[in-house]
Structure 1
């Protein structure tokens, strides 16, 4: 049987045959293209991750920069307030301590030494209250100063326990006893570390509770705790000077301090 087809149909058949013959080769090319596509997709994913990390790093840097600018503005504002150098230094040290990592203070040995000095600067001051038979006698900068005063008043060097952890009845009737309290240690009444001439002693139920350098801070804490405002609950006491050596001093020490109540 003879079949007659058009020329165009013949070309179509021939192209189909050529395509069929090329299929095995196309499969290999297809595998290669698929591999390239997978590689491109992985690279695209990695690039997206890098861009996200970059954006996160930029945001962290912006946050750190804002913190540093804020700290710098805070220190500059402190310097413009006209406070004493001790007060400015105290508050500036607290700002730097709060942002030590951002300022990279610990990157050098000098920075570490400066950080330690700032910690010492911002540690609360303490005073030691000296009591005689439960009655306020004097207030001192250190325990040693209080002991020296007591010994000059007749206390045996080894005949008493100068530091009492718990304030009990035995403490109240002891011939000589002391307690050491932080000045302005009741948050949030923290004030700059400056030389103390006197302190305000707040007592609760007849026992020393807290010590403040400013009367307003003492009164706020007194009201917060509900301690009645009496002549004995809050008194101002002058900080006693270090006793002079007996050989070079012609005057005798007072046997009792006379604390006075603050003007409220």
Structure 2
């Protein structure tokens, strides 16, 4: 992990009419670490992600890239810096094969013609490097499983060689085996030295792969936690804003039953 953060957000605020979606939000992420961004519905996670991705620029606050203040006012600005975002809907084209999806909008050409051979080779190399198992790079994306589709979407985000990857609920609606595949891929992103921001409601997934956990509540920071020295109950308490909730009581009952 490098000494300084790759991406830093300080005092980020965003308002939509009468709704204050973000208020003085802070976040930083280093190379080679996974930071989980968690919070209840409406906590401001999506707004924070869109501010970083240039979809909804903040009204106030500072964004720094490797210690240098930058302005991200549109998605192209984020991409040029080296920020890639994989949204929950994946934005894959079912009628295209894996290669077509990986290079969509970034097609390689030779003498003005699509260089299918080079794209095919680079696609195979990228998937092999990430240990992504797919029957063929020429198989239509529509025929892939949910987990395979998710890994293709993540692989596509790496085509531009980003420094920061944002994953929005990457394991939502996936089965146990598919979730394991995606979490393995998240760990490989860390091994490649990438800074990864993981947005998730699944505390099991968060505790499995995150290095640090940033909790949001009502558009504000409500705690930063080192995954190795915290507990699920502590995170849930920060998410709900209370030390006693239905979730924490349920966890306490489980512990009692296991004794």
Q: Give the TM-score normalised by the residue count of structure 2.
A: 0.23
Q: Which structure carries more relative contact order (alpha carbon 8 Å, separation 6+)?
A: 2
- Structure number with the higher strand fraction is 2
Bigger Cα Rg: 1
TM normalised by structure 1 equals 0.23
